[in-house]
């Protein structure tokens, strides 16, 4: 019995001592923690890469990332649309920024084109009398000819009669008729050499040889020996290749950027590694109704004769403007279909999405016509999450992963 009493008294004493120690060491700490709460309650948890994925408690996103807590912000004076993000979240999201700068926008237009004859150097051969092709010195299109070389020999009764009239006037020593007959022969396009031979030999030439009016390449050869031809018939064309045209197409949205005189570079698969320098020679006034493209005529020198008609070319039109404009990295622009936005860095971990007026866009930069100023900092990565939070909430948001770590503990 005494042993039982001793055990009971010992248990009671141990309990009293435990309560005293707990009150001495544990309770003050808990009371202090409860009395000085300094951690706000999260509104919800959101996926770092998908702001539409929300949960009421910590967890994992569909991509396996820890959900980020979002807190109600108490600083309302900075205006709606601003989000507050801690440095830890900035690092986790890989937020990168860049400054809005003022510079000349380089807007090269890449397109394709086809080499053609320079039509200013393209001569079409037409007879001025009817007759028969007795001999054709050119056998096929594409042949190279030099100025003065024979092209074809023509028998024309009209030319025969005109020669006889000249000889008759000459025989009668009628200077007025002789001059008129000579003028008629020249009007009928009788070559000067043939006319000189007529004066010397005093004999009618049944066939007249017509020579090349310029050096170049034969194109559009439309006759063969024995053909009957009439005035106005195009017998052939001769194109000089000292310089060439390239016809290229640009999209309707690019048409306003192309000006006469702009520099152009061109490459061809025919000669890998070689680049030709040219310029915009003419911008056509109308668009193609089917393709909605504008034709641009480019001109290139061709002293080495490497450029040949109908070659396929890769073309870059350098439409550099001399005026400076506001530029941001292209990846900074958020396009929604109805508007364009940038995420501004407000400082001290604050970000805000703003609407901007977007101009031309190149492979590297986007032109900003309004909405930001020179020197503003804009977000160029992870901006879609920030933009979503800024758009959904009109007040500040805080995201702090350290709170999430505490909740996991």
**Are residue 113 and residue 255 in the same domain, yes or no?**
yes
Tokens matching residue 176: 């007025």
Length of the chain as a residue count: 409
pLDDT of residue 38: 59
Do the domain assignments include residue 53? no
- How far apart are the C-alpha atoms of 385 and 83, rounded to whole Å? 11
Do the domain assignments include residue 88? yes
pLDDT of residue 258: 92
**Are residue 228 and residue 131 in the same domain, yes or no?**
yes
Contacts of 399 (CB under 8 A, 6+ apart): 46, 68, 69, 70, 71, 83, 84, 85, 86, 89
Question: From residue 279, how far is each of 226, 262, 265, 282, 305 by CA, in Å?
Answer: 45, 5, 8, 9, 18
- How far apart are the C-alpha atoms of 152 and 246, rounded to whole Å? 31
pLDDT of residue 155: 97
Do the domain assignments include residue 217? yes
**Are residue 177 and residue 271 in the same domain, yes or no?**
no
- This model's pTM is above 0.85: no
- What CATH number has the domain bearing residue 228? 2.40.50.100
**Could you report the per-residue pLDDT of 319-372, keeping only the tens digit for each?**
876 678 899 999 999 888 788 989 898 887 888 888 899 988 888 899 899 999
Do the domain assignments include residue 25? yes
**Are residue 139 and residue 280 in the same domain, yes or no?**
no
Which range of residues forms the domain containing residue 335? 73-104+323-408
pLDDT of residue 150: 96
pLDDT of residue 193: 93
pLDDT of residue 395: 37
**Are residue 259 and residue 290 in the same domain, yes or no?**
yes
Among 219, 234, 249, identify where a domain stops. 234
Q: Is 3 exposed, middle or buried (0-12, 13-18, 19+ CB in 10 A)?
A: exposed
Among 234, 259, 284, identify where a domain stops. 234
Residues in the chain predicted with pLDDT less than 50, given as ranges, are 1-2, 4, 17-36, 74-77, 393-409
Mean pLDDT, the chain, whole residue set:
83
């Amino acid at each position: 019995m005494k042993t039982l009493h001793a055990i009971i008294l010992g248990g009671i004493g141990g309990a009293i001592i435990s309560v005293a120690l707990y009150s001495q060491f544990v309770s003050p700490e808990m009371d202090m923690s409860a009395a000085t709460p300094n951690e706000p309650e999260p509104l919800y948890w959101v996926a770092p890469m998908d702001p539409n994925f929300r949960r009421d408690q910590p967890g994992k996103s569909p991509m396996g990332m820890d959900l980020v807590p979002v807190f109600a912000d108490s600083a309302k004076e900075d205006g709606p649309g601003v989000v507050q993000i801690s440095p830890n979240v900035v690092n986790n999201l890989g937020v990168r920024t860049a400054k809005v700068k003022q510079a000349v926008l380089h807007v090269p237009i890449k397109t394709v084109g086809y080499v053609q004859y320079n039509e200013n150097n393209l001569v079409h051969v037409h007879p001025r009398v009817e007759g028969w092709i007795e001999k054709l010195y050119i056998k096929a299109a594409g042949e190279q000819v030099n100025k003065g070389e024979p092209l074809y020999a023509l028998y024309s009764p009209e030319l025969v009669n005109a020669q006889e009239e000249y000889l008759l006037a000459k025989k009668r020593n009628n200077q007025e008729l002789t001059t008129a007959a000579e003028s008629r022969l020249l009007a009928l396009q009788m070559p000067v050499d043939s006319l000189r031979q007529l004066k010397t030999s005093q004999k009618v030439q049944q066939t007249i040889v017509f020579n090349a009016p310029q050096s170049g390449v034969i194109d559009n050869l439309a006759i063969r020996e024995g053909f009957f031809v009439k005035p106005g018939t195009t017998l052939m064309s001769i194109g000089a290749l000292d310089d060439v045209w390239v016809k290229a197409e640009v999209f309707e949205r690019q048409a306003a950027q192309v000006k006469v005189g702009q520099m152009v570079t061109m490459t061809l698969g025919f000669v890998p590694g070689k680049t030709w320098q040219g310029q915009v020679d003419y911008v056509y006034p109308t668009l193609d109704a089917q393709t909605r493209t504008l034709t641009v005529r480019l001109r290139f020198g061709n002293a080495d004769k490497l450029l040949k008609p109908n070659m396929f070319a890769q073309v870059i039109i350098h439409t550099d403007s001399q005026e400076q404009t506001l530029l941001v990295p292209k990846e900074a622009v958020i396009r929604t279909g109805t508007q364009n936005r940038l995420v501004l860095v407000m400082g001290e971990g604050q970000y805000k999405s703003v609407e901007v007026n977007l101009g031309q866009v190149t492979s590297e930069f986007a032109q900003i016509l309004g909405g930001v100023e020179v020197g503003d900092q804009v977000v160029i990565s992870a901006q879609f999450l920030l933009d979503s939070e800024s758009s959904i909430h009109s007040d500040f948001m805080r995201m702090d992963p350290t709170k999430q770590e505490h909740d996991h503990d």
